[in-house]
Structure 1
Amino acid sequence: MDIVLLTDRDEFEQKLAVLRAFGHSVTRARLAIDAPDECQGAAAILVDGCTDLPATRETCRRLNEWEPSAAVLVVVTAEDLVAIDPDWQVDDVLVATAGPAEAHARLRLTLARRHRPFCNALQFGDLVIYPDSYTAALADHDLDLTLTEFKLLNYLVQHAGHAFTRTELLHEVWGREAKRRTVDVHVQRLRAKLGVEHESIVDTVRGVGYMVAESPQRQLAIAN
């Protein structure tokens, strides 16, 4: 991912340049950016808002016009969070104390939200499944599923209320012969990613296999 850091502080660059460790390309430009070509082609732009809020706001608004395809994240102090409103036209906000790992995660989620075709998204309570991109989010957090975990969860949700044997799931999800224990292992991993509060989404049916219970909130997800 090509990332541009807009800042006049070496400290800001030094902290977020570590994003290169996640495989990103990171370059720097001035905060008061005045030419579109300085951010042209960037997938994401991190704007340093820790020193001059008015200048940062103006920069963010310019970026929305110059590079509308780029995800724009503004970094501010905790005290200045209240100053950020929709008029800034940013995709997300990071507190200055956030580390590179959090910045990396927020970047991934922001870009995923931008590129997902919401018309095919399926909402199931706090769970949202995006079949076209093979991804899923729970309470707005990316579940980071493997392809097989996604297929398993998607199949069960698409057929909510129906219990499947392990053999049936192997046929429908894996499409090949495999040990029935394979299903159990993937269900365990899936539940671990769903977390204690939501692991019951994939329910065990004694003597049968697994199912997702029908939910009154199952609906097509609509873009905000």
Structure 2
Amino acid sequence: MTPSPSAGQGGLVLLAEHDAGVAELERRYLAREGFEVEIERDPGRAPERAARARPAAVVLDVSTAADPADLYRRTAAAGPPVVCAADPGTAADLGPHRLTRPFGPRALVAAVTAALRAADGPAPAPLRAGALVLDPAARTAGVGERPVPLTATEFDLLRFLVGNPGRVFTRDQLLAAVWGPASASGSRTVDVHVAQLRAKLGADGRIRTVRGVGYVLDA
């Protein structure tokens, strides 16, 4: 996990906000508190942007999302704490850090600061399956002593399978869990990524095909 500084100590905050005026106002107030800020105008791209930029925190506009809870989960899976900015009455599970639009700059700074402080708690424990080890905090994988470089999507897919050992998932279930229910990707995408994981992990990858159903990671 990216180190999470307190307010005033800097650190990168990703603003995933569809409204340019709101994004600029948020950027100014966070910059005054010593944060470096990047803006993503398409909140739907926040998971990929967060995986690349590795920010200390994300302020995520979910007001235009078809499935706010899914967008939050996929963004949070990239590692950083997420502050969700939602419209009044949004009932979705958006995690512990939430702002109701419209909100003032003090509320924004307070929410980001609280998210960063909470992120300083214990890191999630590594996930293991035989010789395969995944570190969700560092987003690294290895087989025995051999590090295995993975793309963001490969890691997310492997993390989901390792987190659910012995359970068979269809391709559609994996698409929804890793790519999101609104993804335009087809089931062939899952096959390609599983093949890539197998090539990188070797026999210790433990991903087994269940003919006519999908895939399972053997415990």
Asked if Structure 1 and Structure 2 have the same fold, meaning a TM-score greater than 0.5 normalized by the shorter chain, the answer is no
Q: Which has more radius of gyration?
A: 1
Q: TM-score, normalised by structure 2?
A: 0.44
Q: TM-score, normalised by structure 1?
A: 0.43
